[in-house]
Structure 1
Amino acid sequence: MKIVLVNSFVNRFTERDDCCHGFVREKHFPCNLGLLAGLLKEENDVIIVDGNALELSAEKIREIIKEFNPDVLITNSTFETIEVDSEIVSGLDCKKICLFYPYISISSLKEKFKNFDYVPYGLEKELTIQEIIKGNDKPKGCYTWEDGNLVKTSPRKNSRIIDYLQKTPYEMFPMKLYDRFFVRSSSGCPFSCTFCEMARSGWIPRDVKTVVDELEILRKMYNVREVTFYDPEISINQAHIEDLCNEIIDRKLKICWHANTRADRINEELVRKMSMSGCIRLAFGVEAWDDFIRNEIVKKMITRDQIIKAVEVCKKHGVIPVVYMIFGLPMDNGVSIMEDIKAVWEMGTPQFSFNIISPIPGTEIFDWYSRRRMLCNYSDKPVCGRNEDLDINELVNYRKLAYSIMKPKSLVESLMLLKNVKLINKLLTNDLGITMFKRLLRRLVS
């Protein structure tokens, strides 16, 4: 069967790695599409059209699809691309499947998916897509259409381990065009953060050896020296991350990596092992320094002491801690926002991110804003939130203030990294010394 996998062009600007000096456009490797390609290519004729890497217009992507004349068309879609993807697939004579990233219900967004025949949901969308291709018109874990109505089939029970996703076929992608590489070691998140589309979705690991095989291919065949794990939280299961680190160490693989995690899911011994395996950056979603907002509204369920200790442990073992804060959450105000900024300052994290809440349809936070009619648009964000105390312009001004206050602190903390022997040795060993020096120099002159 002839199959086209599409990653459409996104005019997206991503915050630089220092989270302090503006935005740059990045071309990210679509790891979800890569894993799906690896699953399908053995029994099918599969091509990849990465419109984002190649900077192709929707019209050009349609031309390529028509020329190939596929039986099945699959788009790698997000909230940012779904309208473009719907335009791309409109009127094409083939099965049209939307590989939609969020794990939430799409019932309230059904108009956006009217040009697609299927929209898989859950943590194992790849298995659902495989069943559709093999002729099952109503597989588990899928939205489809019936008499003009969007219907949801029964959910797919999560597997114990994702052992059916083997190595990504990197040779099918324009590897020289990517400036950031992602690798997935697990799927889902069992925690209950109210702003997150993956909350309470469960958790399934991939086989550790297969994951490290991918890292080895990236390093040895494509000279990739730095990757980001796509997992929502890298240390949900301590045994899994320990096995992953041990496998990297045992193979003497010289590659640096970044990941997101939670402050309550790490300890000193684990961070030490992560550092030994090449971890150079761990990002923590703190969201708010106010305990009530963080734990009662966002349901993060972590303490200030856990956050502070996590940052200190990272610094001790040569891992750069990154702190994420969200402005405009329910009950947020000028006082709580200034507490957020003060907390980041006092923790001394060289990298940080202050974002305005952008509620995702289907999440508890979205429902909170929607009921109170507090959703609004701003700049390139499709949906932003405001609350009783702060309108969107005030939130934007607080965000600018946060970065202006933190910029000198960021420069000082970045220079302090030069004294961190463990970090410097790791960067030099993995051939990243020059790259990191350039990043530091950019901060100093910008």
Structure 2
Amino acid sequence: MKALDAETVMASPDTSDVLRRFLRYVQVDSPSDPDHEERVPSDPSEHAMAALLADELRALGADDVTVDDHAYVTARVPASPGAADRQTLGFVAHIDTAHDAPNRGVRPQVVTYEGGDLVISDNVSVTPAAVPDLPSLAGQAVVTSDGTTLLSADDKAGVAEVMALVARLLADPSLPHPPLAVAFVPDEEIGHGAALLDLDAFGAAYAYTVDGEALGELNYECFSAASVEAVFTGEGVHPGDAKDRMVNAIRLFEEFDAMLPAAGRPEHTAGYEGYFHCHGVSGTVDECRASYLVRDFDAASFEGRLDLMAAAAAYVGRLHGEGRVRLTVRREYRNMAERLDGAEFLVDRAKAAMEACDVTPVCVPARGGTDGAQLTFRGLPCPNLATGGRLAHSVREFVPVPALEATVDILQALVASFA
């Protein structure tokens, strides 16, 4: 498989607008930082991405372009002739990249996938076992990183697709569309997302996030989510004199974790199944800390998971001494399906737009969160549209070029249906 570097692809007159934008955006470092959730943006580099987008929106001729101190970018696109009285439709995408893989210095490349394994570098590849529909992409151009970092299609593919839509509509105002409001927001990957988006000023009656995965997927259900920090306090003494005296905080963690069902870990769940995910542990005999993600689609089951963790902590405390285990629970977002009653037409319109572009829509529960969950609970109904990206948050992340381009066509068909 021959790989072309980004500069070569971007210089070609045959390169589509959305691909050129995507290749440009992924090379701008803008990771969010889970160690600095107290500030927005969590990483100052997100300002560079926000400034770039604001400048491009102004150059395109968008109205009311603003970029604030928190790296929120907002803009408006006037309605096409005859559609100015329609309600404003919003689009939201996030500018930050995940922290689950190296995320700075992304060097994108475009390869022509010929079947078999998708080879990204000498030691990084994607197999059909990992992506069952991979063989169906044979013959397509595919964007990957060079294998040393993630690609950041999550969500710079979404950003590029929304920007390409805006460029298309402003270049030809006769294309039917209602008034549009666009927002690019920071820190979605660490649970902040659109929390500071002023919905009154944004002015949309309803919106879509563009932050999904395989082309054709549509999400109107997502996890309810919480993060749990567990602190285990032990009592260290010399191991030679430890009998009946030492309390090993690491062992307290092991006992606690063993009470959470092994079958409920991410590697054993799919579809509508929730999970407990221990994603970080550090400690000594005196103190051990563990970080968990708790996810479930069903509200009662979600609360049951948190109750089970509290009960496990209490049990370890009764065995080894009260106060040995402390849990801090941070609720992050809820299943947007709980608040979409009356807005089902948003899902129907999205399905129809995909079908108009010869893409088969598939509604799947999002095994993750989007800004749309938070916005829906704040009163702005907001299902999630696919970007075409695959294997997010990993060095194997990729996005087929036809999926990028088809998504822009789907967005155009979607806005036309609201005009």
Q: Normalised by the size of structure 2, how large is the TM-score?
A: 0.26
Answer 1 or 2: higher relative contact order, Cα 8 Å, separation at least 6: 2
Q: Looking at secondary structure, tell me which structure has more helix per residue.
A: 1
Q: Normalised by the size of structure 1, how large is the TM-score?
A: 0.24
* Max Rg structure: 2
